[in-house]
Structure 1
Amino acid sequence: MPTKKPTKKPTKKPTKKLTTNVFLPKQQRSQDTQRKLLTALHTCLQDKFFEHITIKELAEHAGVSVGTFYRRFKDKESLLPLLYQDFGNDLTLWVTGLEQTRYASLADAVEKLSLATFRFLASRKSVFRTLHLNSRLHSALLDSDQVVDRKVIYQRLAGVLLTFGDEITAADKAKAAGVVVFMMINTLLDKVLYPGLTPAIASDLDADEFAQELPEIIMSYLTA
């Protein structure tokens, strides 16, 4: 009786490991090339999703050869930590601007923060989508920025609300402010990045309209 051959299990494809080291080259020429490639990525993201952008396109927009790209980066994904750090710098400038804004009251602060968050996300939609998706595919990306601490950024946003702590009725005001920042960013993120997907479709309002409606919900929570 013939011996039955054991079924060969399919080999699992190894997950691509993201290189998360962010460093500034010593030579000015290399620094310029790195900046050109990052600028090229920003340009390409205006018309395409990250996964559809080719290295050839990046090189062409940067005005360098494909060989020059590969001398500095292993693959397209190697640009993600640079993009994440670049976005962190934008995030810091944005929050600093909000901290320097004058607010008449808690309600005024909540309204202005909601609209500012919507505009910030909408103006960087393609970059934010790229980082949002790839940070879930490559969790190491979240540790690649050694300059900007995202938790501190969110605490600073909450601090804007806590300036009007006497108007917040919650027993733990800091906790309530943190919940508001989470709710504001998360809901607007869905509305801006994924308007046609769940849970964004639960509300018929577009992102702009939702940003204007959100303060009323937040104020009910903070001053209940």
Structure 2
Amino acid sequence: MAGQGEKTALQSRSIQTRNKIVAAFEALLKEKAFENISVAEIADKAGVSVGAIYRRFENKDAFIPLILEAYKKRIEAFAADPANHLEPDIQAGLFPALQEMTRLAWRFLEKDANLLRAAFIHARTRPDLVGEEWDDLLAVSAAGYAQLLRLFAEEIQRPDINEAAAMTLYLLNVGISEYGLYPKEGPAAVLALPPEMFTKSLARAIYGYLTTAD
């Protein structure tokens, strides 16, 4: 489906060209930040003319919906890999599960930092282009965290599991994105922790929230 600013490709050849452009854009996002990618670079990597891109995309902003499209693909691929499955040990308790959760989040960020940076920025600055799917992704994530927390209901002191899951999602995303995407800017600049120590500390902070009664 075409996003806002993208012109619908109807013919098979046009669809193939669009797929080349999308693949080139996603590949460039692995190499550099969205703001540093030019339309000419996308065209060159896709093996098409700049005019071919403008026949399908009104401007560079029309690529913003593709950021979310790529982000969803990465999440699905990451989740499909058995190496990234979170299998909590109920007997070991809540903290080890949270620690593994933060490690997985960091691993995902390390693979696609430029994509995540673009997704987070444009979800806030251009919600008109990102659409409601971003909110849907967050809702699915919150539901997953709620399912995880229910496994450790005896340890958790928060009165509302769904609210606790939403806060867990918030703390995890803010912590990982601030420290992983902007390590030399803002609050993250005062920290000097290697990833293993940072993820453990973040898990400890979330654990403290979940196990502290009002």
Both proteins in one fold, TM over 0.5: yes
**Map 1:1-224 → 2, pairs under 5 A:** 20=4, 25-94=9-78, 101-105=86-90, 106-143=94-131, 145=133, 148-224=136-212
Over 3 Å counting, the alpha-carbon distance change for 1:209 and 1:150 in structure 2 is same
Over 3 Å counting, the alpha-carbon distance change for 1:144 and 1:173 in structure 2 is closer
The Cα shift of 1:206 comes to 3.9
Paired letter, 1:61 = K
Contact 1:194 1:200 in 2 (8 A): yes
The Cα shift of 1:24 comes to 6.5
Secondary structure at 2:87 match in 1: coil
- Structure 1 unaligned segments of length 5 or more: list them: 1-18
After superposing the two structures, state which structure 1 stretch, 65-74 or 28-37, moved more: 28-37
Paired letter, 2:176 = L
Provide the C-alpha distance between the structure 2 equivalents of 1:92 and 1:158, rounded to a whole number of angstroms: 19
TM-score by length of 2: 0.82
Q: How many residues align?
A: 206
Contact 1:50 1:130 in 2 (8 A): yes
Paired letter, 1:212 = K
The Cα shift of 1:149 comes to 3.6
Question: What whole-Å deviation, never above 9, does each CA across 1:44-66 have from its counterpart, x for those lacking one?
Answer: 22333222222111111001111
Q: Which of the pair is proportionally richer in helix?
A: 2
Q: What's the RMSD between the two structures over aligned residues? A: 2.7
Percent pairwise identity: 27
Greater C-alpha Rg: 1
Secondary structure at 1:25 match in 2: coil
- Structure 2 unaligned segments of length 5 or more: list them: none
Provide the C-alpha distance between the structure 1 equivalents of 2:72 and 2:97, rounded to a whole number of angstroms: 23
